[in-house]
Chains A and B, each alone.
Chain A
Amino acid sequence: MAGKFNPDLHLDITGFGGKDIDMCMNCGTCTTICPMSEDSGGGFPRRVIRLIQTGQQSKLEETLDPWLCYYCGDCTTNCPRQANPAETMMASRRYLTARYDFTGLAKLFYKSAVAEILAIILVGLFVTGLFVAFHGPMVLNKVELNTFAPVHAVELGDWIMAAVLSFFLLAGAARMTWWTLGRKKMFRISPLIFIQQIPVFFVHLFTQKRWKKCGSHHSGIRWMKHLLLVSGYLSMLTLVLILLRWFQTDKIYPFYYPQRLWGYYATIALLYPTVDFMISRWRRKEPIHLFSEASDWIFLVMLFLTALTGIMVNIFRVGGLPMATYLIYVIHLSIAVPMLVVEVPFSKWSHIMYRPLSIYLYGVKQAATRANRAADEPASEKVAA
């Protein structure tokens, strides 16, 4: 077989949560029932399953297919052999995340919940430690958060963390780009195409609009919930990275002041979907939530706790409880930071990068194919003449 052949690939993917991959008899039901497959170059999810069955690791790494699936679960519901294609796609995303990550941490975290939790605790303790060692004076007669944790220091920390995370995430993105654009074939793609397609990345980063094409299982509602979550997340990111000086103030503004409204919006946008998803996973009421890996739970719980502690900081601050505010602030950061550090580059959260990037790369590929075909045609005509 061309490229790297790994007869145990199906076992690898099973390790990332794949279910019943061997059961697939390649009938094609999943591929045709999938509402996304036709617009995605054809052939998934079966193409992915088949690559796994035949151990074609290189080709699996080169495919974007898993990232183009949004898990409506129609394939799994319709599968005549209960081979669970949707879960195979999910597991492939985890597997690819681990493959894109050069450190090996992603693989470790996906395969071992203990390792992931330990990592989170370690980073959390580190953050707590930082506060214990370097916190500012604790004003106790009124809430002065900026004295306890000066905003410029926190901001500095934010930026350092963002830089580190971006480095790992971008490294993963680079590997993804390199592999999926065909290692050698990439040089046939005009740089212009790469630039032209850039808007695609941002459109999908902010809207996930491709998801709306996904199957019948309340995908529209799921997409909206997810969009809410993303807006909450991006709001928070904006507030803590760019607008922290405006956001973390000791002055208590009236309720309708944008600073507070935006914060509340972000909190609701994070809390409502995370709670909803956790309930759904617990009850296994949708195909997408039939199987939950530890990484899925950790992601949801951490996000939920971050939002919860965040809003509690606000409640205590507004309620004028200085000690509680400082304490919960430390807890808040001791949850938020490890969540970001562990989840964003090395675990489930990385999809914030890989999803839009895959659609971008897919767009690039399509455009390049069109361009190459257009370039080839006159040539072949000439030969024919």
Chain B
Amino acid sequence: MIATADNERHKDAVIIGGGIAGLQSALDLADQGYKVAVVERQASIGGRMISLSKVYPTLDCASCITTPKMSAAAHHENIELLTYTEVDSITPGPNGHTVVVTRKATHVNADKCIGCRLCEYACDTEYPDDFEQGLGSVRAISVAFTNAIPQKAVLDADYCLACGLCLRACPTDAIEFDQQPRQETIHADVVIVASGFQLNALTIKPQYSAAQNQNVISPLTLERLLAPHGPYGRVLRPSDGKIPESIAFVQCAGSRDQSIGVPYCSRVCCMYAIKQAMLLSGSLPTADITIYYMDIRAFGKGYEQFYQNAKAMGINFVRGKVSKIDSVDKDDLLVHVEYTEEPQDCVRKQRHDMVVLAQGMIPQWNPTSFSPVQIGSDGFVATPDSVSPCTTNVPGIFVAGAAAGPKDIVDSIAEAGAAAMEAGRYLSKRAHLDHTARTVALELIA
């Protein structure tokens, strides 16, 4: 064996991103007996999916699907989770890839922390909670969220006042104010990029007044509002806490729009809007819910039925792209839209209490500056091989999930499995080569 320093690891595979795609790839590879490291920039694995309420088309609660996979990954003997860690570079070489990562300072000794949260309860510095889309607040030292993995506290130095309350509360003396970020190196034969997506800015179309009116919200915010363990425990609109009586979904608010430079379809928005509309009509049975769309793209297995069910439930579907949203009476919203299918008075200004903008999906991560991985014109990782849809331009580097273009959970999971298969093939080919090389070497010695 090669002697390794403390900050070096040897793995078969490194997965970049601990979201649903990354976890699925990790589990599939680990089940085949490969040693895997999952690098996640957040304090917990689970990615976008863990923050969702329920997921289409089965309406399972998202946690119920994600937590078992998170838990399985955390307990798998072949998987090591590196959370709160950023990737600095990926360098391919003749003996596999060298992945340099930075373990960000959590200021908490992970070995000592038992996740009791006493530090969090003691801390009296709060800041808006990203996980709750800024609706709730979080302490300067906290465990990421209820079902986070790992259950380890992270201290955010940007907000910490170093008052020492947590220090006194911690029963295991785990808090280390002077902890420094440290760089580590992972050597691995394959890398799977599962870095996922982000949404483009809510304000990308100034016509939609998101900067002026708090009730123009992101779908991810609505997910938190709908989640049973969300910030308010029910759906209230952000500006004044009113129970919204009329909610609009504005589709293609950040995609299929050349005027904002996102010409492609974000693929998931139609279905999650329908899902959210259904959940809303469950929690607010008297509310008026309208979805303004251009084309309803309910293409997957069971999706069309889901759409038809929503129509039967009384959700209004209006074909027309919203051109403008104005504030009216301070908090309400006026949606300008052409009812393109109706013959008379088709230009309308509809009043709503809350508007959800279907923001476009854009890549979370641009690997080009610190790795040889190439991206397509849409910014997502390019997949040049048509037979193996998960391969990138670099042998041994694969891609899964929304890192290779907008994708829903079902398709991300399928693709994550495929990426694991491609990686597995690559690994077994290398193992075979290694074996041959070793045999040749032994023969030479003999």
Contacts and interface: CB of A to CB of B under 8 A. Distances in A.
A and B, direct touch (CB closer than 8 Å): yes
Interface of A: 25-33, 37-38, 42-43, 46, 77-82
A193 B270 CA distance: 50
A77 B259 contact: yes
Nearest to B258: A82
B346 interface: yes
Contacts of B338: 28-29, 31-32, 43, 46
Contacts of A79: 258-259
A27 B259 contact: no
B320 A78 contact: no
Nearest to A81: B258
A3 to B, nearest CB: 17
Contacts of A26: 340
Contact of A33 (B257, B336, B339): B336
Interface stretch (B81-89, B108-116, B179-187, B321-329): B321-329
B258 A32 contact: no
Given A32-B324, A80-B321, 19 more contacts: A25-B294, A28-B321, A28-B340, A29-B322, A29-B338, A30-B323, A31-B323, A32-B322, A32-B336, A32-B338, A32-B347, A33-B323, A42-B346, A43-B338, A43-B346, A46-B338, A78-B207, A80-B257, A81-B258
Given A42-B347, A78-B207, A27 B258 contact: no
Nearest to A25: B294
Interface string B94-119: 00000000000000000000000000
Interface string B290-324: 00001000000000000000000000000011111
Nearest to A77: B259
Interface of B: 207, 252, 256-259, 294, 320-324, 336-340, 344-347
A27 B345 contact: no
Report whether over half of chain B's contact residues are helix, strand or loop; otherwise say mixed: loop
A88 to B, nearest CB: 16
B321 A37 contact: no
Nearest to A39: B347
Contact of B321 (A29, A43, A77, A82): A29
B433 to A, nearest CB: 51
Contacts of A27: 294, 320-321, 340
Contacts of B258: 79-82
A27 B339 CA distance: 9
B68 to A, nearest CB: 40
A28 B259 contact: no
B263 to A, nearest CB: 8
Contacts of A38: 347
A28 B337 CA distance: 7
Contacts of B347: 31-32, 37-38, 42-43
Contacts of B294: 25, 27
Given A27-B294, A32-B323, A33-B323, A82 B259 contact: yes
A30 B259 CA distance: 12
Contact of A32 (B257, B337, B344): B337
A162 to B, nearest CB: 41
A77 B258 CA distance: 10
Contacts of B257: 80
Given A37-B347, A42-B345, A80 B324 contact: no
A28 B256 contact: no
Contacts of B340: 26-28, 46
B323 A29 contact: yes
26 contacts: A25-B294, A27-B340, A28-B321, A28-B338, A28-B339, A28-B340, A29-B322, A29-B323, A31-B346, A32-B323, A32-B338, A33-B207, A42-B346, A43-B347, A46-B340, A78-B207, A78-B259, A78-B323, A79-B259, A80-B252, A80-B256, A80-B257, A80-B259, A80-B321, A82-B258, A82-B259
